[in-house]
């Protein structure tokens, strides 16, 4: 089988990396197409995954239609050379559109209900849409659900083991309490109209957290000079190990909030709609991680989030409690990478089989 995988974001590297390796080990040919966004290429290089590059996708609205056209042209050219059997991607409409034109099956993975524009452009054209079982929307005959989360494709114990040496690289010991704070760029289409931590209150927010331990910032956007000293300096592929040992994750990044929760680290997400509603209320995985497992909390503003953070940090048993909650989650959920590989290898038979299991 010849498989083309489209990667547009660092999270997609994590989602697909183990499946790519297993598929190649099993004799399949895999071609990876990647966008140069944030640390995507750094991760691909560090994981030893070969890739070809999409044209640069500029953030200014004027250039977006032109850049989108160039992405399609590049994909068509690569597909003409590679001649894939199947196209795989996470959200976005590049593979779904091109797959429809060339009459090749496109399998799209998504866990983001509120990516309204991307979903509207992608879902009608995709052949199959794979979602976690907790996904809030019924997408009809194309949808296949699996009992897991995107993050379990790379944070499941079958693939992930925390590296304690990351603590030395970060300049802390196993006895030191520390908190990871995340800022996002707010440049994605599904971020329009949303807001997170008040930019004017960032330093005060950090000072409150610092009373309970070291604060490390990971950020998609350029940090102000006053925040630079908090920036994480470890390689991006080691962030999950640091997240595993953290006493708390708090911030705007939804993916990292879910990662922290699944790793057994108390997680708090801060993001709201223009109406002041926490966006976690519209996300099936966030609701399940909060209501069923008690691993994650979400709030529309930093004041409510900070109050919860302090209550967690002041409870010296929080980390042990989260570890127990994580074990319960892992006992309930599947190995998502193994599911992905099986689904791709046996497609289309796998589609009908898994549809019947829903």
Average pLDDT of the residues of the chain? 92
- Indicate the Cα dihedral angle 290, 239, 237, 259, nearest 10°: 0
Which one has a higher pLDDT value, 253 or 33? 33
**Cα separation of 37 and 67, whole Å?**
14
Q: Long-range CB contacts (< 8 A, 24+ apart) of 193-198?
A: 193/273, 193/274, 194/271, 194/272, 194/273, 194/274, 194/279, 195/271, 195/272, 195/274, 196/251, 196/252, 196/270, 196/271, 196/272, 196/302, 197/251, 197/252, 197/270, 197/302, 198/301, 198/302
Peptide bond into 348 cis (omega under 30): yes
Which of 56 and 241 is assigned the larger pLDDT? 241
Note whether 2-156+334-357 and 165-332 share their fold.
Answer: yes
Q: 163-172 pLDDT, tens per residue?
A: 999 999 999 9
Pairing of strands 267-270, 214-219: unpaired
- Asked if residue 61 has pLDDT above 60, the reply is no
CA distance 3 to 84: 5
Which pLDDT band, with edges at 50, 70 and 90, does 200 fall under?
Answer: confident
Which CATH superfamily hosts domain 165-332? Glycogen Phosphorylase B; (3.40.50.2000)
Q: What is d(CA 50, CA 30) in angstroms, rounded to the nearest whole number?
A: 9
Asked whether 31 and 52 are in contact (CB, 8 A), the reply is: yes
The pLDDT assigned to 306 comes to: 97
Percent of the chain with pLDDT over 70: 95
What pLDDT, on a 0 to 100 scale, did the predictor assign at position 122?
Answer: 93
**Where are the domains positioned within the chain?**
2-156+334-357, 165-332
For 3, phi and psi rounded to 5 degrees?
-120, 125
- If you ran DSSP here, which 8-state letter would residue 54 be given? P
Please name the helix (run of DSSP H) or strand (run of DSSP E) that holds residue 180, with its range, or none. strand 178-183
Per-residue model confidence (pLDDT) at position 191: 57
Q: Which residues pair with 106 in a beta bridge?
A: 87
Q: Which residues pair with 34 in a beta bridge?
A: 7, 53
pLDDT, tens digit (0-9, with 9 covering 90-100), for 78-123: 999 999 999 999 987 899 999 999 999 999 999 999 888 889 999 9
Give residue 189's pLDDT: 55
Residue 300 has pLDDT above 90, yes or no: yes
DSSP 231: B
Name the residue among 106, 100, 103 with its Cα closest to residue 87.
106
Contact assessment for residue 138 and residue 216, using Cβ atoms and an 8 Å cutoff: no
Query: What residues contact 216, with CB distance under 8 A and at least 6 apart?
Result: 170, 178, 179, 180, 181, 230, 231, 232, 242
C-alpha separations of 248 from 63, 228, 240, 293, 322 in Å:
39, 20, 13, 16, 10
H or E element that contains 90 = strand 86-90
**Run of H or E residues at 109:** strand 106-109
Q: pLDDT grade, residue 54 (50/70/90)?
A: confident
Predicted local confidence at residue 55, as pLDDT: 78
Task: Over range 213-227, report the average pLDDT.
Answer: 91
- Give the residue-averaged pLDDT of 220-238: 90
Taking alpha carbons only, the member of 104, 111, 150, 152 closest to residue 129 is 111
For residue 275, CA distances in Å to 194, 272, 300, 301 come to 9, 8, 10, 12
132 sits in which H/E element: strand 128-132
Mean pLDDT value of segment 326-331: 98
2-156+334-357 architecture in CATH? 3-Layer(aba) Sandwich (3.40)
């Amino acid at each position: 089988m010849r498989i083309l995988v489209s990667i547009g974001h660092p999270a997609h590297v994590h989602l697909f990396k183990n499946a790519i390796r297993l598929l190649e080990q099993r004799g399949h040919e895999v071609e990876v197409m990647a966008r140069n966004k944030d640390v995507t290429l750094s991760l691909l290089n560090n994981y030893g995954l070969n890739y070809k590059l999409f044209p640069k996708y500029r953030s200014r609205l004027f250039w977006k239609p032109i850049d989108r056209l160039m992405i399609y042209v590049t994909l068509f050219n690569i597909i003409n050379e590679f001649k894939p059997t199947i196209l795989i991607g996470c959200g976005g409409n590049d593979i779904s559109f091109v797959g429809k034109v060339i009459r090749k099956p496109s399998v799209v993975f998504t866990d983001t209900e509120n990516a309204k524009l991307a979903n509207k452009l992608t879902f009608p054209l995709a052949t199959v849409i794979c979602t976690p079982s907790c996904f809030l929307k019924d997408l009809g005959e194309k949808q296949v659900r699996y009992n897991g989360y995107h993050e379990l494709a790379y944070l499941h114990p079958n693939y992930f083991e925390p590296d304690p040496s990351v603590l030395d690289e970060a300049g802390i010991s196993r006895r030191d309490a520390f908190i990871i704070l995340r800022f996002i760029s707010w440049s994605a289409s599904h971020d329009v109209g949303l807001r997170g931590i008040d930019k004017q209150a960032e330093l005060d927010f950090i000072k409150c957290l610092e009373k309970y331990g070291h604060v490390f910032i990971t950020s998609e956007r350029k940090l102000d000079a006053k925040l630079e000293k908090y920036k994480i300096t470890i390689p991006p592929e080691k962030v999950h190990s640091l997240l595993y040992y953290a006493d708390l994750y708090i911030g705007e990044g939804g993916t990292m909030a879910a990662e922290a929760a699944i790793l057994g680290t108390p997680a708090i997400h801060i993001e709201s709609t223009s109406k002041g509603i926490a966006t976690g209320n519209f996300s099936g995985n966030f609701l399940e991680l909060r209501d069923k497992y008690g691993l994650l909390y979400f709030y529309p503003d930093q004041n409510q989030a900070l109050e919860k953070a302090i209550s967690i940090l002041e409870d010296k048993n929080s980390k042990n409690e989260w570890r127990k909650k994580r074990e319960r989650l892992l006992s309930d959920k599947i190995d998502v990478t193994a599911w992905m590989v099986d689904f791709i290898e046996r497609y289309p038979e796998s589609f009908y089989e898994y549809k019947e299991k829903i």
